[in-house]
């Protein structure tokens, strides 16, 4: 049979505020989120490889032009497939294609000379656009090279 409590458990908000454990947790410094390392991402992928559930969230800062391109691409593939795919589906599909031809992409990336990352201020828009366009041209050249060598194909390891 259950025994009666010897001391009553405080249930009011004020009583919880005075609880030393609550105060300790409130004053404990929070750990700052750390950008995932390649090793931690690979461990997460291995742990979730059988489930194929997207588990890593990323945030991207886009220009209005980039956002318009994503919207157009999503709309195009929605119309073509009849599915209500999202930008996340689209990005994962693009990354699958890139992963399949990583060697070709890497070869083109190595042809780029050292580039300086432009600052984020508005006065650097022209330099930032030129920087991103150089990378975009190298990426497109790598994908074109992949297609010329037999095309992008579905991997046997992908569902």
Q: Do 95 and 105 lie in a common domain?
A: no
Cβ atoms of 118 and 124 within 8 Å: the answer is yes
* Per-residue pLDDT at 151: 60
pLDDT value of position 99: 92
Asked if the structure places residue 10 within a domain, the reply is no
Residues 92 and 134 reside in one and the same domain = no
CB 44 within 8 A of CB 53: no
pLDDT of residue 94: 93
Distance CA 74, CA 40 (A): 30
Are residue 63 and residue 89 in the same domain, yes or no? Answer: yes
Q: pLDDT digit string (tens) for 35-70?
A: 555 566 666 656 655 566 777 888 888 999 999 999
Most confident of 3-17, 22-36, 52-66: 52-66
Asked whether residue 155 carries a pLDDT value surpassing 70, the answer given is: no
Q: Please, which pLDDT band fits residue 121 given cuts at 50, 70 and 90?
A: confident
Range of 67's domain? 55-99
Using CA atoms, how far apart are residues 77 and 68, in angstroms rounded to an integer? Answer: 14
Q: Within 13 Å and on the Cβ side, how many CA atoms surround 73? A: 15
How many domains would you assign to the chain? 2
End-to-end CA distance of the chain: 55
For residue 110, pLDDT beyond 60 = yes
| Same structural domain, 108 and 62 | no
């Amino acid at each position: 049979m259950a025994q009666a409590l010897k001391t009553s458990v405080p249930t009011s908000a004020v009583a919880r505020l005075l609880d030393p454990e609550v105060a300790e947790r409130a004053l404990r410094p929070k750990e700052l989120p750390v950008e995932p390392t390649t090793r931690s991402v690979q461990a997460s992928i291995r742990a979730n490889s059988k489930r194929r559930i997207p588990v890593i969230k990323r945030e991207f800062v886009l220009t209005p032009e980039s956002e318009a391109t994503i919207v157009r691409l999503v709309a195009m593939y929605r119309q073509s497939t009849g599915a209500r795919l999202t930008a996340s589906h689209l990005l994962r599909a693009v990354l699958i294609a890139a992963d399949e031809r990583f060697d070709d992409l890497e070869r083109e990336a190595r042809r780029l000379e050292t580039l300086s990352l432009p600052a984020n201020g508005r006065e650097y828009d022209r330099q930032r656009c030129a920087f991103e366009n150089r990378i975009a041209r190298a990426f497109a050249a790598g994908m074109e090279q992949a297609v010329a060598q037999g095309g992008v194909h579905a991997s046997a390891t992908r569902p």
